[in-house]
Amino acid sequence: QVQLVESGGGSVQPGGSLRLSCAASGYTFSRRCMGWFRQAPGKEREGLASIFTHDGEIYYADSVKGRFSISQDNTNGTVWLQMNSLKPEDTGMYYCAAGLSELGSWCDDLTSPGYTYWGQGTQVTVSS
């Protein structure tokens, strides 16, 4: 059984920062694509960033480059998303996801077809 649990969401003013955590369990974390996605009401799900846990290769969506950073701790099976310079447009439900296979070649496909396991989400609200 694979479980992904997000935490760290909340309310923040524009320009503020949040760090989201994804705690993974129930599978081999050391060679997986791990991604962060978000969905706002009335909008399509959007891929934000991914990391291949085997070698740390990282990919970002253009919309968050320079503001968001993804990182990992293979020791405890955690993936983080550091979000800086937050904007009201960043408001939404943020999800952590993991791939089924141990291949990393598709980690950069943030349209999400390769991501099999999903967390419950954590809400991020950016407003003044």
pLDDT recorded at residue 27: 76
Residues 87, 126 contacting (CB under 8 angstroms) = yes
Tell me the pLDDT tens digit for each residue of 32-54.
999 999 999 899 999 999 999 99
Tell me the pLDDT tens digit for each residue of 54-94.
999 999 999 999 999 999 998 889 999 999 999 999 999 99
Mean pLDDT of all residues belonging to the chain: 94
Residues 18, 125 contacting (CB under 8 angstroms) = no
Q: What's the average model confidence in pLDDT over 114-127?
A: 96
% pLDDT > 90, the chain: 79
Residues 38, 94 contacting (CB under 8 angstroms) = yes
State the sign of the Cα–Cα–Cα–Cα dihedral 8, 11, 15, 16: negative
Q: What's the average model confidence in pLDDT over 88-109?
A: 91
DSSP state of 55: T
Asked if pLDDT for residue 28 goes beyond 80, the answer is no
CA terminus-to-terminus distance, the chain: 40
With a CB cutoff of 8 Å and minimum separation 6, the contacts of 28 are: 102
Q: What's the average model confidence in pLDDT over 99-106?
A: 84
Q: How are beta strands 57-60 and 3-7 bridged, if at all?
A: unpaired
Distance CA 47, CA 82 (A): 15
